[in-house]
Amino acid sequence: MLYSPPFPLLLEETRFGNTESRLLLGNRTRIRDHKLEGNERSKVEDSEDYSNINIGIFDNRNIEITVFKEGTHTSGRWGGTDEFTSKKQAVFFTVNGQTHYTLPRSFFSRAKLDFLKDELMVHIDCTSVTLQRRRKIFMASRDRVRKSEELKNIEKDLLEILKTDDWLRKLNHVREERSIAHNAKDQNFANKVLSKLIKINPEIAVLLNIGDQVKTGINHEKEKRQRKRKNSVPPEPPVPFVGERFPTFFEIDKWNSEKGLYNKEIPQNSYVRVRFKTDVQNDYLNEIRGSERGYFKCDMPEILKGDVLRNGILTAKIEVTEGKQVGDTFTVRFELTRPWEDSFFQEIKFTVVKPQKTEDENGRTKDELEKNTPRPIPVYAQKQEGIERNEYKIWEEMTDFEWNEETISQVKEGENTDVYINMDASYLRGFLKRQRGISDKKREAIIRNYKIAILLYSVVLKSRVKKVVEDNGADEEYIFQIMMQGVSSIILDLIIDNQKLLDFDEEF
């Protein structure tokens, strides 16, 4: 909670005879020290700093995002450590180094960063926010905040930043692909059943946010390329970026200044990102640099909605102001300051174009329309004989919480929606025990269709519950009613009679 104390604190344990002491430095200093180590002992995998970010009424904030190495916060079956963050505290809003408000790791799930959430930390420094605005959110006790519309807007804006950050999405996808089990047989069967169900009831495609055409979720060409690469000479590892202490140049990325003024179109109802190239270290715009810090700004500050400097690329988010009409043009001068030296400047001409259509008639975005079908991933109590090890998970590998015979499923979102299904759940095992005398073929059909049913229920209910928690903070009974609504929306297509899914199985 003391993210950045003004000076270190020495804690001494004197209750048990032997005096022991520990230095309390605060997370900011500890993270900096880990980054400086730059070796295997470092627990920081990577980091990113935003500046000039407007989140709700907190304008011009600095946001520090840190991703720790996998296993830093091990949790689940065998206990765990909360070294930098905890389940309830992963996003920190601070004033003068002291935490005034936190958000839990589950907040990252709303940004579809499920595979990063245990090892992700976000810090927002609110020290320079005016006292009048701070009082609308924070309270003097520091253990509570005002549950106001302003707070909702702050969380909404922060969520949008995390959800659209390319660096975080790529990292999440890398860990997703490393984590999931690939079972092509289960996936193919799921795709065929979903295709059949969507023909019967097209609303299922809307419920699952997968568009009207079911995609396989398996890119065979990509798999061929990956196998080919494995059998060939491995590529050289990328050269790590080593920036200068201070920038020596500042230019528009992929643009030759000899061509004249750079032109950029900007939709009337949206924003664009502009990329600049430089050679300075990633922390150059961070206040931790003190007097050696630089600033990025422009002569129309109302359009600059944030910037991030990473590995020589400075990306600025530019949003068109209200009142601009289609066809309007305006020229903006961007500045990158340098301590004790003249600033660098670049100019860009913006042209306002027609608004972009971001949603279809059902309110689905382009990302949702292109989403692949959910992927079923079986999870067993222990290792299985006769099944390839890369086709399933076991309970102890599920680290978000302790899995047991009462666990049914878990949904994780990234580039895909992955549904982990407990194949040793007491309900399934008990049902199979009661089916005495059935053939092996029918037993396999029951298990396969159990996976499909749990897959659909899990995706729909996860979506419903998430929506309720975000919008209403509803009580348990209300959430349950919404869950039942989600189930009823697909249950008739699944169990109109006891034979329907088994017919699907025979067909395929």
pLDDT digits (tens, 9 = 90+) for 14-52: 887 777 888 888 998 888 888 777 667 788 888 888 887
Instruction: Return the residue matching tokens 């990306």.
Output: 315
171, two tokens: 């990292």
> Which among 346, 278, 336 has a CA at the least distance from the CA of 311?
278
Q: What percent of the chain has pLDDT over 90?
A: 16
Of the two residues 444 and 314, the one the predictor is more confident about is 314
Residue 487: exposure state from Cβ atoms within 10 A (0-12, 13-18, ≥19): middle
pLDDT at 177: 79
Residue 501 has pLDDT above 70, yes or no: no
Q: Are 485 and 464 in contact (CB under 8 A)?
A: yes
pLDDT at 348: 93
Q: Are 45 and 119 in contact (CB under 8 A)?
A: yes
Question: At 249, is the pLDDT very low, low, confident or very high (cuts 50, 70, 90)?
Answer: very high
Exposure string over 13-41, b if 16+ CB within 10 A, otherwise e: eeeeeeeeeeeebbbbbbbbebbeeeeee
pLDDT at 377: 86
- The pTM of the full predicted model, rounded to 2 decimals, is 0.73
Of the two residues 349 and 469, the one the predictor is more confident about is 349
Domain 250-353 CATH superfamily: Immunoglobulins (2.60.40.10)
Residue 496 has pLDDT above 50, yes or no: no
Residue 171 has pLDDT above 60, yes or no: yes
Q: What is the CA radius of gyration of the chain?
A: 26
Exposure string over 378-411, b if 16+ CB within 10 A, otherwise e: bbebeeeeeeeeeebbbbeebbbeebeeebebbb
How many angstroms separate the CA atoms of 319 and 302, rounded? 8
Residue-range domain boundaries for the chain: 9-178, 250-353, 372-507
How many angstroms separate the CA atoms of 184 and 180, rounded? 12
Residue 279 has pLDDT above 90, yes or no: yes
pLDDT at 351: 92
Q: Are 120 and 113 in contact (CB under 8 A)?
A: yes
Q: Are 63 and 161 in contact (CB under 8 A)?
A: yes
How many angstroms separate the CA atoms of 306 and 315, rounded? 8
Residues in Cβ contact with 22 at an 8 Å cutoff, skipping those fewer than 6 apart: 10, 11, 13
Of the two residues 22 and 183, the one the predictor is more confident about is 22
Mean pLDDT of the chain: 78
Sign of CA dihedral 123, 129, 135, 137: negative
Beta bridge partners of 145: 138
Question: What integer is the mean pLDDT of 190-215?
Answer: 62
How many angstroms separate the CA atoms of 142 and 3, rounded? 14
pLDDT at 384: 84
72-113 confidence digits (pLDDT tens): 876 544 445 788 998 889 999 999 989 999 998 888 888 888
Of the two residues 494 and 309, the one the predictor is more confident about is 309
Phi, psi at 274, each rounded to 5°: -115, 135
428-468 confidence digits (pLDDT tens): 888 788 777 778 888 887 788 788 888 888 877 777 777 66
Of the two residues 444 and 294, the one the predictor is more confident about is 294
How many angstroms separate the CA atoms of 508 and 503, rounded? 9
